[in-house]
Amino acid sequence: MPALPAPYSYHNHSTWSDGTRSIVEMVAAAAAAGLVEFGMSDHYVLIPHSPNNASEWSMPLDRVGEYAAEVQATTWPGIQVRLGLEVDYFPETWQELPQRLAGIPFDYLIGSVHYADAFPIDSKASDWTPLGQEQVDEIYRIYWTRIRQLAECGLFDFVGHLDLPKKFGFYPQADLSRERNAALDAIAAADLALELNTAGWDKPCAKCYPSAALLLEVRRREIPVLISADAHAPEKATAHYRQAADLLRELGFSETVRFVRRERIAVPLAAG
């Protein structure tokens, strides 16, 4: 099997949140697919508008230490397992996160936005169908504002699936360039990395997160990138990886990044 051009994957899920298989099953599949590092990043969602601050697709908030211990105890021949977490940003609850996650030796934290206030951005298409265009525009406006705030809060190592609201094929018509550029500028100013998330190619939008046009803006700002499959099942461990690497090279990127104990390390993007 030819070597992968970027054999590191950090955005992945197990049955600790909304994945379909255990941590060890996901790691075994990643090793078989040719990855040399694989990070678990199950959801941690401290949601402000839900009973007990809980989300049905997040890990139990009081068991994050158990989750971390299981990831750290998982080994498999030929692959290094990294400890991550995908954490939702909410302006109402983000200040609680440092205390809740204190003392856990994460390799990285992914900052993501899945809600525009109480609206679930990527739950199901039927949430979007009744909306008028002005409502769609407003959800995008809130989303880009939350991404900017996420970057400014200083808690995270990279941004997850930027441009997520397009998942079901609903797009804004308003000019949101100011909000979008402010978010990208904040990511650059905070020295965050950003993933090319390949999962979007298998969603109704049939486009990666973020789009090629946005990736050009990312490159112009010299924001570091990495490739993620956002795998929720073993067979998705490296989905569209070569396509993603080809796209990055076409857009002028020459390296990706990896993470160890919150340190970001640049890695040449090998020929695919």
Per-residue pLDDT, averaged over 175-190, amounts to 98
State the pLDDT at residue 207.
Answer: 97
Question: What is the spatial distance between Cα 229 and Cα 240, in angstroms, rounded to a whole number?
Answer: 7
Please check the confidence at residue 1 and state whether its pLDDT lies above 60: no
Average pLDDT of every residue of the chain: 96
Domains and CATH numbers, the chain: 40-223 (3.20.20.140)
User: Which pLDDT band, with edges at 50, 70 and 90, does 51 fall under?
Assistant: low
Please check the confidence at residue 6 and state whether its pLDDT lies above 90: no
Question: What is the spatial distance between Cα 62 and Cα 45, in angstroms, rounded to a whole number?
Answer: 11
Question: What is the spatial distance between Cα 40 and Cα 122, in angstroms, rounded to a whole number?
Answer: 21
If you count DSSP H runs as helices and E runs as strands, how many of each does the chain have, helices first?
A: 8, 12
Using one digit for the tens of pLDDT, what is the confidence trace for 238-266? 999 999 999 999 999 999 999 999 999 99
Using one digit for the tens of pLDDT, what is the confidence trace for 217-240? 999 999 999 999 999 999 999 999
Using one digit for the tens of pLDDT, what is the confidence trace for 70-121? 999 999 999 999 999 999 999 999 999 999 999 999 999 999 999 999 999 9
Q: Are 120 and 113 in contact (CB under 8 A)?
A: no
Residue 226 pairs in a beta bridge with: 195
Count the residues in the chain. 272
- Name the DSSP letter for residue 63: G
